[in-house]
Structures are given as structure tokens and as C-alpha cells.
Amino acid sequence: MQAKDRLRREYSSFNDLSRQFRMYDEQSIDSLLDDRLRIHMNPNGSDDISLQRDDCYTPIYPAAQPQSPLLLLRQHNFKLKAYYSNVGNCVQCNKRIRFGVASLRCRDCPLRCHTECCSQLTVNCIPQPLASTKRGHLSDYVPHVAPMVPALIVHCVTEIEARGLELEGLYRVSSTRDKVKRLRHKLLRGKATPHLGDKDTHTLCCCVKDFLRSLERPLIPMYHRPDFVLATQLSDPLAVEEQLYLAMVDLPQAHRDTLAFLMLHWQRIAESPAVKMSINNIAVVFAPTLFDDADLNLSNIVLWQQVLRVLLLQSAGFWAQFLEVEPLLPASSLDDDEWKRENYHPSSAHWQSVKTYFRSMVG
């Protein structure tokens, strides 16, 4: 409460204070907050924090640092709020958010953090999927707006690239099954964004592979496979790129966005000499996972590896064009009660309204 009172004295009202922490306001937040209270909303460390929701996600590949981490797909839409219940730990420092102390939460994803941890935040904003029941399809785990990449893959990839691009044997060294199972279950629950800073890097890699294997349909479905195989039979590079573009457009959006996101990630791993995972090694590891293994034999495995090598040899700009950020509804214009009514629909809401109707009739 002391921190909240100290912040209140800097503004005329608490509503003015909460408005400063809204990500997409008319003015830049740098022009509204002084140097002492400024919270940098761009976890990438860039000075440009006026990214609009309709901007296209374009990865940056510096020539001197080819292993630089991925930029955020979507920035957070923060709301300052004091919680008077147990809300868990901060996603950045993994320390408990104290009772009654003002903290930040995202209006678009289940992320909560301390106000002082926002400047070091490296976690992506992934909106919650609309599907209430998970049947094992990729579309059940992706957000309802583009880019449709599951939160499990985005969070694991971001953490791997933040501290694992100098580690040898990524996606080649295995981890224990129990650790992978617990991490996968925690990430797929989606109730809160877990802290991954203390997780083993190889466990994160195995979690990504295990998730791709568990899908009801593989990332490249069987009926789309001939389109990708046709690209390997062409000799002209421009014809190969055109055929791959047509094949990518025909994919479902969730499969297309996830495949493009993973290709950018695996290209960075192949460019890091310390990892010792070349394009050929990545193709050997992931070819049986990305394609359907119903007819698993030696000739098909060799063909799938060849297709995956062709995909990995495409430029980063080719894959970045499929990762366009689709704007969300302006949730920051809603207060907490409206946001809860629009995002949470309990199963007993209809029955409560029926009981209220009959009580009014009896009265």
C-alpha cells in the first residue's frame, strides 16, 4: 500500500495513474512518465516503444550477431492493479507478488509481474485460445488472432534463444520424461504464464518436440505433403520459392504461422557454431516429427529430410512474411468488470440468470 500511495501522490487521481500503464494510448508513455517512474514497455531493450497493433512482425538479423534472439510477436497491454488475493509469482523474477501491492497484469494474456520487473521482461504476449476443450489439434492451442503460434512454443523458443544459443546439442540431447511432462502440462493449462528462467534448456527443447509429436495432425499434414515435395524437384531457386509460397498459403493458418516461427528459430540455431546443429542435423531430428509417420520407412524419411533442408535454406524474409501481427480489440478502454464479463463466461451463468428470473416471478 505504501508503494501505491507514493505513486498516487504523483498524479491527481488513481485513474490518471492507471492510464499511464496502458500500452496503446494516444501518446507515447515516455512523454507521460518522468525518468524516475518510467516503465519501458518494450522488453526487447529498444527505444522505440510505439509499436502499433497492426505492425508486421519483422525479425532483425544483424550481420555481426546472427544469433540474436527473436523480437516479440506482440507487446503487452499492461494494467496497473493491486490484488488482495493470492495471484502467484512474478513471471520475471519468480518472487511472490505481495498482498495489496500494485503490480502489472496484461489485459491480453495471463501475465503478471512487478512494476520494477517490467523493464527486464522477455516474455511474449500470447492471447488466450478460444477453444475450451482440447482435442489435440494445433488450432486448439493457438490465439484467435495472427500470428497463430501456441504459447508453449513461443515461450520455450524465447527462453532457448535467450540463454541457449551457446549450448552444444540443442534438440539433440534428451531430458527426463517427468520434467518434460510437468512443464508441458503447466504451459498448456494457460491459467498463468510460468517462469522458465530456472528450467533446463534441454528440457525446453524436449518440451517443444514432445508437443509437436502429440498433435492429432502433424505440423505438415499428409494431404499437403505433395506440395512441399514438388518444391524439392525444381532446380530454379525462384521456382522453388514460388512453389513453397503456394504450399504455405494452402496450409491452415495455425500450421502456417507455427511452421514459419519454428523455421526462423531453427535457422538461428544452425547459424550458431557453438550449438553444432547444422541444417542437416536439424532435418534429421525433426523430419519424422513435422510429417505424418503413418507410413514410416527409410525412403520416406530421406524424402522428408530433403524437404526440410529446402525449407531451412529459404531466407529469413520469406518466413517473416507469414508472421503478421493482427490487431486486437482495444481492451485497455474497458474497465476490469467489463473485461471479465467479455472474457470469462462461466458455465453456470445461464442457470444463475434462470434462477434470478424465477425469484423475480415469485416475488
pLDDT digits (tens, 9 = 90+) for 317-334: 999 999 888 777 654 444
Give the pLDDT confidence score for residue 36 in this predicted structure. Answer: 36
CB 279 within 8 A of CB 172: no
Residue type at 78 in one-letter notation:
F
Could you tell me the strand order of the sheet in which 112-113 lies?
A: 78-82, 102-106, 112-113
133: left (phi over 0), alpha (psi -120 to 50) or beta: beta
Give the pLDDT confidence score for residue 103 in this predicted structure. Answer: 86
Give the pLDDT confidence score for residue 88 in this predicted structure. Answer: 81
Residue type at 331 in one-letter notation:
A
Give the pLDDT confidence score for residue 275 in this predicted structure. Answer: 93
Grid coordinates representing 106? Answer: 496484461
Give the pLDDT confidence score for residue 28 in this predicted structure. Answer: 36
CB 53 within 8 A of CB 325: yes
Unique residue bearing C-alpha cell 489439434: 137
Q: CA-CA distance, 320 to 206, in Å (whole number)?
A: 25
The rounded average pLDDT for each run of 10 residues, N- to C-terminus, in the chain (363 residues) is 49 41 37 37 38 38 38 73 78 83 84 84 80 78 89 92 89 92 88 84 95 92 92 93 96 95 95 93 92 76 94 95 79 46 47 53 54
Give the pLDDT confidence score for residue 141 in this predicted structure. Answer: 92
Pairing verdict, β 102-106 and 112-113: antiparallel
Angle between helix 225-232 and helix 237-250 axes, rounded to 10 deg: 170
CA dist 170 → 50, 65, 166, 202, 282 (Å): 35, 19, 9, 6, 10
Q: CA-CA distance, 254 to 203, in Å (whole number)?
A: 24
Give the pLDDT confidence score for residue 62 in this predicted structure. Answer: 35
Give the pLDDT confidence score for residue 73 in this predicted structure. Answer: 63
Give the pLDDT confidence score for residue 361 in this predicted structure. Answer: 56
Label each residue of the chain as H, E or C: CHHHHHHHCCCCCHHHHHHHCCCCCCCCHHHCCCCCCCCCCCCCCCCCCCCCCCCECCCCCCCCCCCCCCCCCCCCCEEEEECCCCCCECCCCCCECCCCCEEEEECCCCCEECHHHHHHCCCCCCCCCCCCCCCCCHHHCCCCCCCCCCHHHHHHHHHHHHHCCCCCCCCCCCCCHHHHHHHHHHHHHCCCCCCCCCCCHHHHHHHHHHHHHCCCCCCCCHHHHHHHHHHHCCCCHHHHHHHHHHHHHHCCHHHHHHHHHHHHHHHHHHHCCCCCCCHHHHHHHHHHHHCCCCCCCHHHHHHHHHHHHHHHCCCHHHHHCCCECCCCCCHHHCCHHHHHHHHCCCCCHHHHHHHHHHHHHHC
pLDDT digits (tens, 9 = 90+) for 9-66: 444 443 443 444 333 333 333 333 344 333 333 333 444 433 343 343 333 333 333 3
